[in-house]
């Protein structure tokens, strides 16, 4: 099965403010309220939420109150705030791999490329709330398929990408994606489609003045 990247936009400040208002009682996280919020997210999902639930592989067991799962409940609450966005798999499923193969020619660092493809860890999303209670409650230290990019990250990466456009037509880039012959399409067109996928994803975040939630699996 092909590895796919999917993306959505959301407002981190709005999300964490909502979370504080809904689940914090007397300066403590009420897990019953957090679970109720998670259940509400999956009960009547929007299109953006429904697709996010599919990509994060939601399982009904996550909602078992006898086995509290704050991280899962945080993810489900977040899913209720997501709006679909273009991704590095929109025009061409492995556009993400094209980024990985081509952007080093444009002197992108491994960190920059990984951020574009996978986003940053969700632990940094929790930290971005500036809320010590949330940082103590939600622990995303372990690697996962979910990540995010802030609005500021998108603003930084977009001009880097635009300045790299020429590399998506150079002979060395065409050679670097010889694996794409499997898809039986012109490699030059695939390079352009992949560039447009990345451009659309970052532009959408900026136009919506939002962060990106990313799933890469």
Which residue pairs from 41-49 have beta carbons closer than 8 angstroms and sit at least 24 positions apart in sequence?
Answer: 41/76, 41/77, 41/79, 41/80, 42/76, 42/79, 45/79, 45/80, 46/80, 47/84, 48/8, 48/79, 48/82, 48/83, 48/84, 49/79, 49/80, 49/82
Q: Does the pLDDT value for residue 1 go beyond 60?
A: no
- How many Cα atoms sit within 13 Å of 160 on the Cβ side? 19
Choose the weakest-confidence range: 28-32, 48-52, 174-178, 181-185: 181-185
- Alpha-carbon distance of 164 to 155, in angstroms, equals 15
Residues 111, 138: Cα–Cα separation, whole Å: 24
The mean-pLDDT minimum among 139-143, 176-180, 190-194 falls in 139-143
What is residue 181's predicted lDDT score, i.e. its pLDDT? 86
* H/E run at residue 79: helix 70-79
pLDDT mean over 13-28: 97
Over pLDDT 70: what percentage of the chain?
A: 100
β-pair type (5-10, 211-216): antiparallel
Backbone region of residue 61 per phi and psi (left: phi > 0; alpha: psi in -120 to 50; beta: other values):
alpha
Question: If you average pLDDT over residues 199-204, what whole number do you get?
Answer: 98
Asked whether 89 and 197 are in contact (CB, 8 A), the reply is yes
Predicted confidence at residue 85, as pLDDT, reads 98
Higher pLDDT, 170 or 185: 170
Q: Is the pLDDT of residue 213 over 70?
A: yes
In this prediction, residue 143 has a pLDDT band, given cuts at 50, 70 and 90, of confident
Position 95 scores a pLDDT of 97
pLDDT in tens, 56-110: 999 999 999 998 899 999 999 999 999 999 999 999 999 999 999 999 999 999 9
- Mean pLDDT across 131-148: 92
């Amino acid at each position: 099965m092909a590895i796919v990247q999917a993306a959505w936009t959301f407002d981190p400040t709005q999300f964490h403010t909502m979370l504080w208002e809904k689940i914090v009682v007397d300066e403590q996280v009420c897990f019953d309220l957090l679970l109720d919020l998670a259940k509400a997210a999956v009960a009547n999902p929007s299109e953006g939420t429904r697709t996010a639930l599919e990509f994060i592989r939601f399982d009904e067991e996550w909602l078992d109150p006898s086995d509290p799962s704050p991280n899962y409940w945080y993810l489900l609450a977040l899913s209720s705030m997501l709006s679909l966005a273009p991704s590095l798999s929109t025009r061409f499923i492995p556009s993400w791999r094209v980024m990985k193969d081509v952007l080093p020619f444009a002197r992108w660092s491994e960190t920059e490329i990984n951020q574009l493809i996978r986003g940053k860890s969700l632990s940094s999303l929790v930290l971005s709330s500036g809320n010590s209670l949330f940082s103590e409650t939600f622990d995303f230290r372990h690697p996962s398929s979910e990540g995010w990019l802030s609005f500021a990250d998108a603003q930084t990466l977009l001009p880097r990408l635009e300045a790299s456009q020429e590399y998506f037509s150079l002979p060395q880039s065409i050679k670097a994606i010889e694996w794409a012959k499997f898809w039986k399409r012109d490699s030059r067109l695939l390079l352009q489609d992949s560039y447009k996928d990345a451009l659309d994803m970052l532009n959408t975040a900026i136009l919506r003045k939002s962060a990106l939630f990313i799933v890469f699996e």
